[in-house]
């Protein structure tokens, strides 16, 4: 591949990946320094009613999804003293749900996140097998960015090898970066 073509491809891949890396960097700062960011959430509480005797967590989630737009992934559930407890989460919103199986009374605590906390939660999104299409789109974008970063590394090394005058500077930067990363990994492991 010609140097100019590879350079243009390298630039295009970098431009595609850059916005995602900026989001990742901002959220990493938010996670590492939570006191520097805005408040994480605001909470709402509301009540609803379901048919009496409903005990299946998935059926309860589906009923609340249809009647009150409680979208997201059912992350946990348990039954305790006739009360079904469910946790439903999606980026930017979480629901803590209590259902009295005997009466059908539902109590919901809904937590809405600020944009900074939403960025934090995007780190915890998983795969391409979510019920929410937007979560799957985010997962697909992350796959594309991950592959793009691997292509950037490979293309960058190839471009660097094509420029003999800059190899010495590149070796110094690469060596320093590698030593720093390994030292941090060892320090974290020993901490």
- Chain centroid, CA 12 distance in Å: 24
pTM of structure: 0.66
* Euclidean distance between CA atoms 149 and 144, whole angstroms: 9
CA distance 22 to 25: 5
Summarised one tens digit per residue, pLDDT across range 125-176 is 667 887 778 878 888 998 999 999 999 999 988 888 888 887 888 889 889 9
In this predicted model, what pLDDT tens digit does every residue of 85-121 receive, in sequence order?
999 988 778 899 999 988 888 999 998 877 766 777 6
- Say how many C-beta atoms besides its own lie within 10 A of residue 161's C-beta: 11
Locate 113 and state its tokens. 């996140």
Q: Which pLDDT does position 177 carry in this prediction?
A: 94
Q: Residues in the chain, how many? A: 191
138 token code pair: 């985010």
Which residue do the tokens 């937007």 mark?
Answer: 134
d(C-alpha 150, C-alpha 155), whole Å: 9
């Amino acid at each position: 591949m010609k140097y100019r073509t590879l350079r243009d491809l390298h630039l295009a891949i970098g431009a595609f990946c850059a916005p995602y890396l900026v989001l990742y960097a901002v959220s990493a700062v938010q996670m590492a320094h939570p006191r520097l960011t805005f408040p994480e959430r605001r909470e709402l509480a509301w009540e609803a009613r379901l048919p009496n005797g409903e005990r299946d967590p998935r059926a309860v989630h589906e009923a609340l999804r249809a009647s009150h737009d409680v979208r997201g992934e059912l992350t946990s559930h348990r039954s305790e003293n006739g009360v079904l407890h469910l946790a439903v989460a999606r980026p930017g919103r979480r629901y803590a749900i209590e259902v009295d199986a005997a009466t059908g009374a539902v109590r919901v605590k809904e937590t809405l996140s600020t944009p900074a906390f939403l960025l934090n939660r995007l780190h915890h999104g998983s795969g391409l097998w979510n019920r929410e299409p937007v979560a799957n789109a985010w997962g697909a974008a992350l796959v594309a960015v991950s592959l793009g970063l691997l292509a950037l590394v490979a293309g960058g090394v190839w471009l660097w090898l094509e420029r003999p005058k800059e190899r010495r500077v590149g070796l110094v930067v690469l060596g320093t970066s590698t030593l720093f990363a390994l030292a941090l990994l060892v320090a974290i492991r020993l901490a």
